[in-house]
Amino acid sequence: MNKIIYGLTFLLLLLCQILLANNISLWGMITPMVYIMFILVLPFHMSKSLVVLLGFAMGISVDLFTGVLGQHAAASVLIAFLRMPMIRIISTQIKFEEHLRPILWDMQFSWYFQYALYLTLIHHVVFFFLDAMSFQNFFLVFGIALLNVTATLLLIFIFQIIFYKASKRY
């Protein structure tokens, strides 16, 4: 059952990215990359290799729909790999209960905000510098990355609020 749910999440987020988010072009600068929410919502206890593989699958699927193969995939694999270390760094006071998932309603707001912010930031900065391939316009590229982080985070929070609810203890 869980597998089906995560499969559906994968498909829906991919469709949402290519049919909706890729169409957004605010001031020609902002195109949110909401598909990375898929990597954020994978359960805590999922095997690390599987998370990395799923991150790659998601990234390369999004890449198929844009110009150059590999950019989205490289950034997604990186955050899929850094997800567990990041969780360990952030969650100092939180007790991990078996039934909890890394979603907004299960965790404290500040925890989830940090979790989403750091991973999105890493993803976007890596992605935009992979595209620029130089530090010539460093501040410009970094600025655009930050603007996109804001947009992506906003969408992630909206999605979390609308489509997710707190897990039940079982």
Partner 1 sequence: MRNLFDFILKNTHVFLFVALEIICMLFIYQSSSYRQWVINASSKEISGPFLEARATYKEYIHLKKINENLQDQNRTLISQVYNHQLHPSIEEKYTDSLQNTIFEYLKANVIENTTHLQNNYLILDKGSKDSIAADMGVISPFGIVGIVKDVSSNFSIVLSLLHNDFSISAKIVKKEVAGILVWDGVNHSKAKLKNISSVENIRIGDTVVVQHSLIFPENYPIGIVSKIDKQARGGYFVLDVFLFEKLDRVNKVWVVKNNYIGQLNELKEKVKNE
Q: Which residues bind partner 1 (CB under 8 A)?
A: 18-19, 22-23, 25, 28-31, 47-49, 51-53, 56, 59, 64-71, 73-74, 77-78, 80-81, 128, 130-133, 136-137, 140-141, 144, 148
Residue 159 Cβ vs partner 1, minimum distance, rounded to whole Å:
20
Residue 46 Cβ vs partner 1, minimum distance, rounded to whole Å:
11
Nearer to partner 1, 104 or 151 (CB): 151
Q: Rounded to whole angstroms, how far apart are CA atoms 40 and 30?
A: 21
Q: Encoding tokens for residue 134?
A: 């130089």
Nearer to partner 1, 41 or 144 (CB): 144
Helix/strand/coil (H/E/C) assignment for every residue in 82-96: HHHHHHHHHCCCCCC
Nearer to partner 1, 85 or 95 (CB): 85
Count CB-CB contacts under 10 A for residue 98. Answer: 9
Count CB-CB contacts under 10 A for residue 102. Answer: 19
Nearer to partner 1, 18 or 117 (CB): 18
Q: How many Å is the Cα radius of gyration of the chain? A: 16
